[in-house]
């Protein structure tokens, strides 16, 4: 990654889109301000829209339950327009850590952007193609000549859409038009209004749309998507080398928050409203809680094991060599990278031992006992 700083300057100048700051703290790459004061970090959320996903299950819960402060951390947030922009924010120092698409991380590493992936988050493939129930699009091949809605061209939905189309023998550059439609009501309006013929979104985003009254039909994903990793915690390489322990502590707080959220999603959602009141948009929490909790649960299922009780879950953040190999193959198929990279150029799991040093049963009890 010797050429990373030169490339990073161009990326930071031309591509980073930081949309909103949710806190006033600084991003100092994990360096302590000295005198025993907390280490300051900024989490870049790879989404332009605040909603019940990692900003609630990771950040809000860790903030409210004191998991960050117990680790000697103060953490604030910024938002970025997709995983590419979030990685650029971290690499430039505008953010300290992000949960961004693994494929975007691989693409950045191949371009010598100085970033390091330090722990997994979303472990079950969350992306799917959806249409209206009466749509003539029933399989991937039916997308020829159609418009396919993606969150943005900088989101993980764009390479997923291309790979899905390519799996049917179509040329994603000429046979299908990708149209940025965002998520939520905006994406639903594009589908209902005929601006697009199908959507390429993640499970939680579809839950939001269906709860709002739009019925959907889903296309089956081919086997090529089995075992591919999605959101992965990513940091700036130099900042991680300077203070790896701070990032290990962040991961521990994050995984404790994930366990809490999986154990009591309703409590996590209530906490989300406290930390990010903009989620409500002025609505009464009582009118939103049931639907938002269901939406959050849909996201949590993508980020936690599919079997076993929460208290039994172990190896938070682990990504196997086989999973990295499958993810690289997909990323290359999607056109994000031109060839596989040496995974140790991107992946450093050295802080996962620290991240997993916590009492799972105690966290599950905290979740069970939580009262607003």
Which residue ranges make up each domain of the chain? 4-124+229-369, 127-225
Query: Which of the residues in the chain have pLDDT under 70?
Result: 1-35, 48-51
CB contact set of 273 (below 8 Å; sequence gap of 6+) = 279, 280, 285
Q: What is the pLDDT at residue 210?
A: 93
Query: pLDDT (tens digit, 9 = 90+) per residue, 57-67?
Result: 999 999 999 99
Q: What is the pLDDT at residue 273?
A: 96
CATH topology of domain 4-124+229-369: D-Maltodextrin-Binding Protein; domain 2 (3.40.190)
pTM above 0.85, yes or no: no
Query: Distance from first CA to last CA of the chain, Å, rounded?
Result: 47
**β-strands 198-202, 127-131: how paired?**
antiparallel
Instruction: Mention the CATH class of domain 127-225.
Output: alpha beta
Q: What is the pLDDT at residue 47?
A: 78
Give the separation between CA 303 and CA 58, rounded to whole angstroms: 11
CB 354 within 8 A of CB 249: yes
Q: What is the pLDDT at residue 10?
A: 38
Q: Does 127-225 match 4-124+229-369 at the fold level?
A: yes
Angle between helices 265-275 and 285-303 (to 10 degrees): 120
Q: What is the pLDDT at residue 307?
A: 86
Query: pLDDT (tens digit, 9 = 90+) per residue, 304-362?
Result: 998 888 989 999 999 999 999 999 999 998 889 999 999 999 999 999 999 999 999 99
């Amino acid at each position: 990654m010797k050429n990373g700083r030169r490339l990073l300057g161009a990326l930071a100048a031309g591509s980073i889109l930081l949309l909103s700051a949710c806190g006033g703290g600084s991003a100092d790459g994990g360096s302590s301000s000295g005198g025993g004061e907390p280490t300051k970090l900024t989490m870049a959320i790879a989404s332009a829209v605040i909603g019940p996903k990692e900003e609630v299950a990771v950040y809000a819960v860790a903030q409210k339950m004191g998991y960050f402060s117990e680790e000697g951390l103060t953490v604030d947030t910024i938002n970025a327009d997709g995983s590419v922009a979030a990685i650029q924010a971290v690499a430039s120092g505008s953010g300290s850590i992000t949960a961004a698409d693994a494929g975007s991380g691989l693409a950045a590493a191949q371009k010598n952007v100085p970033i390091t992936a330090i722990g997994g988050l979303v472990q079950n493939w969350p992306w799917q193609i959806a249409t209206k129930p009466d749509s003539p699009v029933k399989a991937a091949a039916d997308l020829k000549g159609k418009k396919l809605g993606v969150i943005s061209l900088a989101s993980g939905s764009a390479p997923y859409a291309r790979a899905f189309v390519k799996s049917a023998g179509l040329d994603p550059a000429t046979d299908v038009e990708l149209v940025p439609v965002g998520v939520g009501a905006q994406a639903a309006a594009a589908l209902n209004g005929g601006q697009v013929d199908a959507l390429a979104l993640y499970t939680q985003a579809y839950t939001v749309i269906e709860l709002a009254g739009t019925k959907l039909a889903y296309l089956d994903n081919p086997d090529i998507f089995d075992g591919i990793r999605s959101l992965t915690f990513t940091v700036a390489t130099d900042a991680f080398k300077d203070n790896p322990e701070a990032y290990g502590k962040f991961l521990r707080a994050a995984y404790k928050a994930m366990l809490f959220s999986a154990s009591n999603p309703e409590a996590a959602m209530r906490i989300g409203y406290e930390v990010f009141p903009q989620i409500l948009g002025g609505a009464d929490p009582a009118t939103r809680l049931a639907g938002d909790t269901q939406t959050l649960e849909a996201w949590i299922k993508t980020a936690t094991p599919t079997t076993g009780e929460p208290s039994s879950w172990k190896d938070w953040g682990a990504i196997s060599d086989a999973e990295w190999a499958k993810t690289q193959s997909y990323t290359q198929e999607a056109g994000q990278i031109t060839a596989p990279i040496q995974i140790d150029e991107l992946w450093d799991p050295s802080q996962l031992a620290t991240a997993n040093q916590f009492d799972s049963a105690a966290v599950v009890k905290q979740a069970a006992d939580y009262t607003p």
